[in-house]
Every structure is written in structure tokens, then in C-alpha cells.
Amino acid sequence: MTVITRFAPSPTGRLHVGNIRTALHNWMLARKNGGRFLLRIDDTDAERSKEEYVAAIRTHLAWLGLDPDGEERQSARLDRYEAAFERLRAADRVYRCYETAQELDLKRKILLGRGLPPVYDRAALTLSEADHAAKAAEGIAPHWRFKLDHDEPIAWDDGIRGPQKFDPAQLSDPVVRRADGSWLYMLPSAVDDLDMGVTDVLRGEDHVSNTAVQVQMFSALADGGQMPRFAHEALLVGSEGKLSKRLGSLGCDAFRERGIEPEALVALLARIGTSLPVEPIADRHALIETFDLATFGRAPARFDEAELERINTAIVHQLDYGAVADRLPQGMDATGWHAIRPNLATVGDAAELWRVVTGPIEQPDFSAEDRAYLAGAARALEWGEDPWHALTGALKEATGRKGRALFLPLRQALTGMDHGPDMAQLLPLIGEAEARARLERAAKGH
């Protein structure tokens, strides 16, 4: 059986880091098993869904390298939900209700006050056809609930949480259709998963109770179709160990603005919350090969922005010139990239370091002794295969200087910096004429 997973965002906002993690794990699960990864746009909420968010979802998945094998939109499948609803209605698995949000809230508070679970009391099931006719005459349209079978325990073997069992009598019959005819999440999602042949539903543990309800919904709708396997992963928390509002605002736009590479984000999100070490692995195939639901833990997965930045720096140090060429300053070639790469935290930092090569640079004030030393360096500079080591070797022999006293004035005069890229790689990029001019300028002082 071909493994088919899906990522099903609602286009009512931009993807945040929790969404990204869900998409990534579903993509990895499919790729690990040679299967298919589908994108489903859950846009049944016409009022809140926006095309700009649909476009952003596609753009961000492309940036992350999570290429879907197909895309569906719920707004184009309304006839399928209508047909499924009619089947449930004919089977007496949905029923009409009229309680307002305020009435339902009051019922919940009363039950909680009695120490009872806030489960819907099914009062609407006692209404007669005359009661329904009276509501219709008043212009009151019903909302519809799916009727759970209280005689059938709900159970499944969760891919992360292990055996799960629910008493349906302890669950509220879920509302599946609003009074205005629009759909809530439950029914369209189950219909889509069956129609699209989804074999594995991997999502956050906040959906466990939804799954309990949908297990019965799948049974009622399956008609020979295969119910998916379910796995629920622990939710992300901030570095302080708590659910954080900031996590909801961290999305691809924010990461890109900070110079985070998609490979770094993938490397971190692929493994946090698992027993595998989080490492700066840029090779997607290596991450996919080690992806295994058995390594996922039950404890919250801690997302640490400082850890992401450390991984990002390590990933940047691995990037080949071809992967970054279009983002580098004009004139920087592969030699230049490899010279400055070990000193970068982000690719965007390359422009600042490249100015060391192109100039102008700002030199510090040197002591009279160092100015004399730099004048001698300008005279001793000879160009060959390795001008830096030739120069420092000659100066060491001529002056007796060594260590910091030998190297630091030269670096400061040639780059305007106290530390930075390897001078042996940098000096040939600066060039003989410019290097000598900088040494001579430093020797003269301001």
C-alpha cells in the first residue's frame, strides 16, 4: 500500500513554526516510504480564507523544499461534503439542534459546577417534527451534530502515543454543519481523507479528541474505503518550556528576514521532540533515512531560537558556492565565498565582509612603532602563490616579532578588523596593488 500523507492548513493566516513542523513530518513520512505528500487547502471558511494566504502557503513550502505531489482545495469539493452529509442523514447519524452559543456555554458551566464533564446533553434528540416545524416557522435554521454511537468503544493504535481508547458517552456529539449551511472541520476532513486515499494522518496531540470522533465518522462514511493510521505528536513549546504566543508569530517570513536557511529550520524541526540528536544536517536524504515515529517522545518539543541560530551558522559553513551565488555581493566568486564562509552567521553577512576586499576600509590609529613596522611590510610585500605566509615569514625574520605583535597590525591595516577570515585566503582577493596601498596608508597614519 502506497503511503499517502497530507498537510491541511487553513488559509486564514500565514504558516507558523508549528504548522511548518507538521508539514515537514508528513513530507518526511511520505518520502521515507516512497509515498505521496498532498497539500490540502482547508478553505471552507469563505469569510476568513484569503488567496494571499494560499499563495504564501505554496511559497513557503517551496522555500522549505517540501514539494507536494498534489493539491486539493476544499472549496472545490463542496458537492462531496453535501453527498456525505445526505448519507449520514439517511443513516440517522446527524441531527438538528438549535441551542445558541450562550445556551451551550451555560450548560457547560452547570455541568462543570457539578463536577461533571461538559458533554452536550443531546437535548435536541427529544424534539418532535412539530418542534422542528415551529422553529422553521420562526425562521430559525438548525445546526447539525454527528451522533456518536455510544455502544461502540472508540480505539486505535496511535503511531506515537500507543493504544488509545475513548468512551464515546464522554464525548460531545460534534457540530458538523452551521445554521448557515457552512461546514466545520470534522466532516470535510474525513471525507477528503477517504477520497484522497490518505493512509497516515500525522498531526498535533491537540487533535486526539478530534480523532476519537472522526474514527466513528470514518466508519460511517468508509463504504469500503480504508481508515487512515493516526499519530499525534507532542506540541511545540518555547525555550522556557511553556506554550508561547511567540511561537504563533514565528513563520517563514520572520525566519527569512533573520537570514535563517531552510536547511537549518528543517534540521531542527525534523528532530526536536525525538530521541535523535539535533545536528546541522543539510542533507535531506540523511534526515529522511533516520525519520521514525518510534523515536518521537510524549514530552513537549522545545523550540529554542538560539539553537536554531547555532544550527544555521553551521549550515552556512557547509553551503557550496552554487547554492548561494545569487545571494552574494557583486564580484564575489567561489574563491571569495570559501574565504569568508567560515566567518559568517548568515549568508546576508557576506556583503559586510566582502567590503573588506572591495574597500574602502577604516583603519585604526597605529603607534609610531607599528607604523614603522607596517612601512617595512609594504616594502617586504612580494606577490606569489602564498603572499601572506611569505610576508609574515619575512617580517618575523627581519623584526623578531611573533604571535599577536606580528599578525594583528597587518590584519588591522589590510582589513580594518581585529579578526576575520583567514588572511592567507583573503590577501590574494585584495590584490597586490591594493594591499600595498593599504599598508602604506597605515604607515603614514591619519
| Beta strand ranges found along 186-274 (DSSP E) | 200-204, 229-233, 236-237
- The CA distance from 197 to 199, in Å, is 6
Tell the residue number behind the cell numbers 517540501, with chain if given. Answer: 66
Strand, coil or helix: 33:
coil
Contacts of 290 (CB under 8 A, 6+ apart): 276
Cis amide bond preceding 360, omega within 30? yes
Q: At what angle do helices 423-430 and 350-358 cross, to 10 degrees?
A: 60
- The CA distance from 311 to 52, in Å, is 31
- The CA distance from 150 to 152, in Å, is 6
Q: Any binding-site annotation on 245?
A: yes
Residue 18 vs residues 13, 21, 39, 323, 397: alpha-carbon distances, Å: 13, 5, 16, 27, 60
Neighbours of 360 (CB within 10 A): 8
* Dihedral of the alpha carbons of 228, 232, 233, 236, in degrees to the nearest 10: 120
- Is there a contact between 362 and 441 (Cβ–Cβ < 8 Å)? no
Q: What are residue 107's phi and psi, to 5 degrees? A: -60, -40
β-sheet with 143-146: strand ranges across = 94-97, 143-146, 175-177
Q: Write the single-letter amino acid at 102.
A: Q
- The CA distance from 268 to 304, in Å, is 9
Which triple of cell numbers denotes residue 108? 457547560
Annotated binding site: 245
Question: Could you tell me which residues are annotated as the binding site for ATP?
Answer: 245
